[in-house]
Structure 1
Amino acid sequence: MSMGHSCSSSTCNECGRKHLRSVSSRGDGGWNRNDASLICHCGEKSMLRTAKTSKNRGKQFWGCPRYKVGSEKGGCNYFRWFTDWEIEKSVSFEVLEANDERLLKSFENESDKKIVGVQKAVMGLQSWMKFLVGVVSVLCVMNIIIIAMLMGRA
């Protein structure tokens, strides 16, 4: 779903495309991955209800928990047939798992790059250390020679 618009159904009225939605801080509807329940547009956990109309009697659907409860805020009229949600849930789980795997590989690649960078830095420091040990050794030998020459004159 693009960030420029929001949809209230599984098919967007603005762009006409079907969208897979996950939980959003904006409360635009979706499902909660932790307990696999739908989230309504109010941001509440939706309730599984049973239709009582003659056309759909006994058919289960997800609805806003505030719908027709007599409160000032009458809810968001969130509605989704249970069978539609079951299909979307299985597809959404697959999409989220693929995203998780991609994110994990991205973190692994980033970590590998950092490890290689640290290894290169360590190798550079080791070669610098060898150079400095060589310089100190040469300076020590030169000091010994100078001291020996000064003692030979005296």
Structure 2
Amino acid sequence: MAAQSSTSSRSRASSHGRLLLCSHGEKPVLRISGMKENPGRRFWGCVYFEVQQGCNFFRWADPDTEVEHAEVARIRKKLSMMKSRTKAAEWKLKVVAVLGFFGWVGFLCLLLQSWSNATQQCVIPLNLI
């Protein structure tokens, strides 16, 4: 019955181009793990597993997870470094924006003060006659 389940298939069992055979001399069947530790992970198993005396043939069909874990760890470290650089750049940009804003406000104040001094009427009467 297990050999006919929907989680099994008679796909070509190969690992890096080699034909896999179990101890019975049969091509293993591609199955999907239902265990808590590896749910949904694909593996090659003996054709006679749960039907007759199986030979305990077992091989993961998915890529080596240790290599994937190292790659994921490297990418996460790189992502963390990029996030910290981004935060630093954002902080610098905010500082420059605030300084630029206050610089323009100061410039406008000086410009208005100079304009008001130039247009201000003389309060001292000049009676030359």
Interval containing the TM-score (normalised by the shorter chain)? 0.5 to 0.7
Structure 2 unaligned segments of length 5 or more: list them.
1-13, 19-29
Q: Report the CA distance between 1:138 and its aligned residue.
A: 0.5
C-alpha distance in structure 2 between counterparts of 1:152 and 1:34, whole Å: 92
C-alpha distance in structure 1 between counterparts of 2:54 and 2:103, whole Å: 83
The residue type paired with residue 48 of structure 2 is T
Greater Rg by CA: 2
Scaled by the length of structure 2, the TM-score of the pair is 0.52
The one of the two structures with greater contact order (alpha-carbon pairs below 8 A, sep at least 6) is: 2
Identity %: 14
C-alpha distance in structure 1 between counterparts of 2:88 and 2:81, whole Å: 11
**Residue deviations 1:92-113 (CA, integer Å, cap 9, x gap):** 2322222221111111112222
Correspondence for 2:47: 49
Scaled by the length of structure 1, the TM-score of the pair is 0.45
The residue type paired with residue 81 of structure 2 is N
Correspondence for 2:15: 9
Q: Does 1:119 align with 2:117?
A: no
Aligned length: 93
Task: Give the CA RMSD over aligned residues.
Answer: 3.5
C-alpha distance in structure 1 between counterparts of 2:119 and 2:103, whole Å: 24
Structure 1 unaligned segments of length 5 or more: list them.
1-7, 14-28, 39-45, 52-56, 61-80
